[in-house]
C-alpha cells in the first residue's frame, strides 16, 4: 500500500484530501500544526513546515506528498506579507528539499486560480497568461516555479492543481460563501462589495479534493498542471447571495458596501474567474458533481447543527 503525506492535512481542504486518499486505498500520514480527527488516519504528526527537520521526519517512509499547508485569507496574507512569504515559499522549499532527501516519488502541489489574476472574460486554461494580483497569488506561483526547478535539478516528479473558488462545510468564515451562510444563521444580510457582479464558478470541496487525488494517482500527470473547479455554473457574487438567502429560508436583501468602506480594493479584486477544466476531464476523467444549490444546502445543514449545540 502506497503511503502519502499530506501537509496541512487537518485543514479545510486537507481533511477532504485525506478522505479521498483513504477511499483510494492509500495509507495516509498527516502533518499539521494540530492533529487530524479523521479516525482512518493511523499517523498524525504535529509540526511546522518551517522546520526542515520536522518536515524531513514527516516525509520519511512515504511514497508521495501532497503539499497543502499554506497561509490563507486576504486579511492575513495582505497585511502580514512577510509572514505569508515565509510560510508559503520557505515552507514549500523545505518540503521539496525533504522530498529529494527522502526519495519521494511525486509531489502534488495545491496551487490557486489566483495566479491567473484578471482575464478577459474567457474561460481560463492552464496555458493562459499568469498575472498574480495579490501577495498570496505570488507565493503560489513561486511555489510552482520551484517545482519545475527541482524537477530539472534533482529529477523530482510533481503535479500542480490550481483550485478555483473552493467552498464547503468547515471552511473559515473569512471566505465569501461561509460568511454568507453563518451570517444568515445570525440574521445578518450578506454583504456585497462594489456591485456584486464579480463572476465565479464555485467548486465544492469534495469535488476539488477528488480531482486532486485523481491528479496524484494518474500516470498521465507527471510534470502537469490542472485546473480543478466547476465550469458548469458560473454565478455572480450577488447571485450567490440570493441563493444563500433562498437556502436559509429567510427574507432579506443583500447589503451593498463600497470598496472604500471595506478592507478590499477594486484594484485587487478579480472580476472574472471561470475555469476551463477540459484538460482534467480528458486526461484524468474528472467531472464536478455537486451543484452550488446542493453545496449551500449541505453548509446550512452543518451550520444549523453547530448553532443548535
Q: Is the per-residue pLDDT at 260 higher than 70? A: no
Intrachain domains 3-167+204-228 and 176-198+233-276+290-308 with the same fold: no
Report the CATH fold assignment for 176-198+233-276+290-308. UDP-galactose 4-epimerase; domain 1 (3.90.25)
Answer whether 270's CB lies under 8 Å from 201's CB.
Answer: no
Lowest-pLDDT range of 27-41, 66-80, 93-107: 66-80
Residue-level pLDDT at 13: 98
Query: Predicted confidence band at 1 (pLDDT cuts at 50, 70, 90)?
Result: confident
pLDDT digits (tens, 9 = 90+) for 91-101: 999 999 999 99
Q: Is the per-residue pLDDT at 27 higher than 50? A: yes
pLDDT digits (tens, 9 = 90+) for 262-301: 455 555 567 788 999 999 999 999 999 999 999 999 999 9
User: CA 212, 213, 218 angle in degrees (round to 5)?
Assistant: 105
- Burial annotation 139-150 (CB, 10 A radius, 16+ → b, else e): bbbbbbebbeeb
Lowest-pLDDT range of 147-161, 170-184, 246-260: 246-260
Per DSSP, the chain holds a count of helices (H) and strands (E) of 11, 14
Matching residue, cell 511514497: 63
Residue-level pLDDT at 79: 77
Task: Cell numbers for 217, please give them.
Answer: 494517482
Each domain of the chain, given as residue ranges in start order, spans 3-167+204-228, 176-198+233-276+290-308
Query: Predicted confidence band at 226 (pLDDT cuts at 50, 70, 90)?
Result: very high
Residue-level pLDDT at 309: 43
- The pLDDT > 70 percentage for the chain reads 94
Can you tell me the mean pLDDT for 133-157?
Answer: 97
| pTM for this model (two decimals) | 0.94
Task: Cell numbers for 120, please give them.
Answer: 478577459
End-to-end CA distance of the chain: 39
Q: What CATH number does domain 3-167+204-228 carry, 3.40.190.10, 3.40.50.720, 2.60.40.10, 3.90.1150.10?
A: 3.40.50.720
Cα(92)–Cα(66) distance, rounded to whole angstroms?
11
- The pLDDT > 90 percentage for the chain reads 82
Amino acid at each position: 500500500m502506497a503511503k502519502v503525506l499530506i501537509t496541512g492535512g487537518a485543514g479545510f481542504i486537507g481533511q477532504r484530501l485525506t478522505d479521498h486518499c483513504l477511499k483510494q486505498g492509500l495509507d495516509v500520514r498527516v502533518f499539521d500544526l494540530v492533529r487530524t480527527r479523521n479516525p482512518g488516519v493511523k499517523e498524525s504528526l504535529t509540526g511546522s513546515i518551517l522546520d526542515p527537520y520536522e518536515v524531513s521526519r514527516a516525509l520519511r517512509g512515504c511514497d508521495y506528498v501532497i503539499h497543502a499547508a499554506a497561509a490563507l485569507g486576504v486579511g492575513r496574507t495582505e497585511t502580514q506579507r512577510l509572514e505569508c512569504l515565509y510560510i508559503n515559499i520557505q515552507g514549500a522549499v523545505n518540503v521539496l528539499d525533504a522530498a529529494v532527501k527522502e526519495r519521494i516519488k511525486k509531489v502534488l502541489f495545491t496551487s490557486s486560480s489566483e495566479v491567473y489574476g484578471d482575464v478577459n472574460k474567457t474561460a481560463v486554461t492552464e496555458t493562459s497568461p499568469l498575472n498574480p494580483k495579490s501577495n498570496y497569488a505570488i507565493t503560489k506561483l513561486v511555489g510552482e516555479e520551484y517545482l519545475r526547478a527541482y524537477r530539472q535539478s534533482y529529477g523530482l516528479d510533481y503535479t500542480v492543481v490550481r483550485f478555483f473558488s473552493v467552498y464547503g462545510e468547515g471552511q473559515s468564515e473569512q471566505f465569501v460563501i461561509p460568511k454568507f451562510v453563518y451570517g444568515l444563521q445570525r440574521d445578518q444580510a450578506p454583504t456585497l462589495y462594489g456591485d456584486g457582479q464579480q463572476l465565479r464558478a464555485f467548486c465544492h470541496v469534495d469535488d476539488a479534493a477528488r480531482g486532486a487525488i485523481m491528479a496524484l494517482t494518474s500516470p498521465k500527470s507527471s510534470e502537469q498542471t490542472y485546473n480543478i473547479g466547476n465550469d458548469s455554473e458560473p454565478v455572480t457574487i450577488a447571485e450567490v447571495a440570493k441563493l444563500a438567502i433562498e437556502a436559509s429560508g429567510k427574507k432579506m436583501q443583500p447589503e451593498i458596501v463600497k470598496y472604500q468602506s471595506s478592507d478590499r480594493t477594486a484594484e485587487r479584486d478579480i472580476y472574472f474567474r471561470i475555469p476551463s477544466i477540459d484538460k482534467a476531464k480528458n486526461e484524468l476523467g474528472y467531472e464536478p458533481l455537486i451543484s452550488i444549490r446542493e453545496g449551500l444546502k449541505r453548509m446550512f445543514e452543518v451550520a444549523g447543527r453547530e448553532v443548535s449545540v
